[in-house]
């Protein structure tokens, strides 16, 4: 379980995340939505300990994230950046093996584990290719596979469909739902409302660093004060 208590993040004396609190359990997909600059990416980065907190804390299984060393954090939390952050000079397989070697796996075990995850995402045939030889959807699958090689409990994704066509978006939806069923806790930030609607167990609407609306029931989604208008606004933009 992730427990976030009174999270406060400031930058140059400006409040970016404003005393946010929530609990998230395994087997769930949480979607963070809101206007650009609302604080979604900052919240993800705060959850993984990439930025300092002014106050508050993030607990994973009752252990404060900021008290963990970087190695332990990366074992518990997988983070897939918007632009994937794959090493361009390493092959697909090497990208997945690298974090395992850093965490003390021997090469044979690291290779086997990397192949196992690449196989689950249908990417073993591309294991010797470099990221620049792959489509956006393929790079996305490699990035997720790499983040899961250490078998974290939590998976964070920032704008995961930004580089994907509809076919690869549907593949990603299937992957995320499967991971949630297997016990992962998934938190994603997205402006893609069709994608969000298909995957969410709960939605948090963020405005000026605060969670001002939430919903965990599709039957009542369009009765919400902020989420429903935002869905409508984004849908109208897509139709233009």
Mean pLDDT of 164-187: 92
Mean pLDDT of 7-23: 94
**CATH number, domain at 163?**
3.40.50.300
pLDDT on residue 236 = 62
Tell me the H-state helices in the chain: 40-47, 70-76, 92-102, 107-120, 136-148, 166-181, 193-199, 227-239
pLDDT at 238 over 80: no
Nearest C-alpha neighbor of 39 from the set 186, 237, 208: 208
Mean pLDDT of 5-34: 95
pLDDT band at 167 (very low <50, low <70, confident <90, very high): confident
Mean pLDDT of 72-100: 93
* Cα 111 to Cα 99: distance, rounded to the nearest angstrom: 11
pLDDT on residue 168 = 85
**Residues with Cβ < 8 Å from 215, sequence gap 6 or more?**
202, 203, 221, 224, 227
pLDDT at 81 over 90: no
Integer distance in angstroms from the first to the last C-alpha of the chain? 41
pLDDT on residue 142 = 95
pLDDT on residue 240 = 46
What percent of the chain shows pLDDT beyond 90?
Answer: 78
What percent of the chain shows pLDDT beyond 70?
Answer: 98
pLDDT on residue 237 = 56
pLDDT at 1 over 90: no
pLDDT at 29 over 80: yes
Mean pLDDT of 213-240: 85
DSSP annotation of 209 reads: T
pLDDT at 163 over 90: no
* Cα 11 to Cα 159: distance, rounded to the nearest angstrom: 22
CB 51 within 8 A of CB 40: no
**Residue 116 belongs to domain spanning:** 2-239
Averaged pLDDT score across all residues of the chain: 92
pLDDT on residue 76 = 93
Global pTM value:
0.91
pLDDT at 134 over 90: yes
CB 40 within 8 A of CB 53: no
- Please give the distance of CA 196 from its chain centroid, rounded to a whole number: 12
Report the domain count for the chain: 1
pLDDT in tens, 147-162: 999 999 999 999 999 8
pLDDT on residue 10 = 94
DSSP annotation of 240 reads: -
pLDDT at 165 over 90: no
pLDDT at 204 over 80: yes
């Amino acid at each position: 379980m992730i427990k976030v208590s009174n999270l406060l993040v400031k930058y140059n004396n400006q409040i970016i995340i404003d005393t946010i609190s929530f609990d998230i359990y395994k087997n769930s997909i949480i979607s963070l939505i809101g206007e650009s600059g609302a604080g979604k990416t900052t919240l993800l980065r705060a959850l993984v300990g990439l930025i300092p907190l002014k106050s508050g804390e993030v607990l994973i299984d009752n252990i404060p994230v900021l008290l963990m060393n970087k190695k332990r954090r990366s074992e518990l939390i997988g983070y897939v950046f918007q632009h994937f952050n794959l090493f361009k000079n390493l092959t697909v397989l090497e990208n997945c093996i690298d974090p395992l070697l850093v965490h003390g796996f021997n090469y044979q075990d690291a290779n086997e584990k990397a192949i196992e995850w690449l196989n689950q995402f249908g990417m073993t045939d591309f294991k010797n290719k470099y990221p620049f030889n792959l489509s956006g959807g393929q790079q996305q699958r490699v990035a997720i596979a790499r983040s899961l090689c250490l078998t974290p409990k939590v998976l964070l994704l920032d704008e995961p469909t930004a580089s994907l066509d509809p076919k690869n978006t549907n593949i990603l939806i299937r992957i995320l739902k499967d991971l949630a069923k297997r016990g992962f806790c998934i938190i994603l930030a997205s402006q893609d409302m069709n994608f969000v609607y298909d995957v969410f167990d709960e939605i948090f609407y963020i405005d000026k660093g605060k969670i001002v609306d939430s919903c965990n029931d599709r039957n009542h989604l369009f009765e919400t004060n902020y989420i429903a208008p935002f869905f409508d606004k984004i849908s109208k933009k897509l139709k233009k």
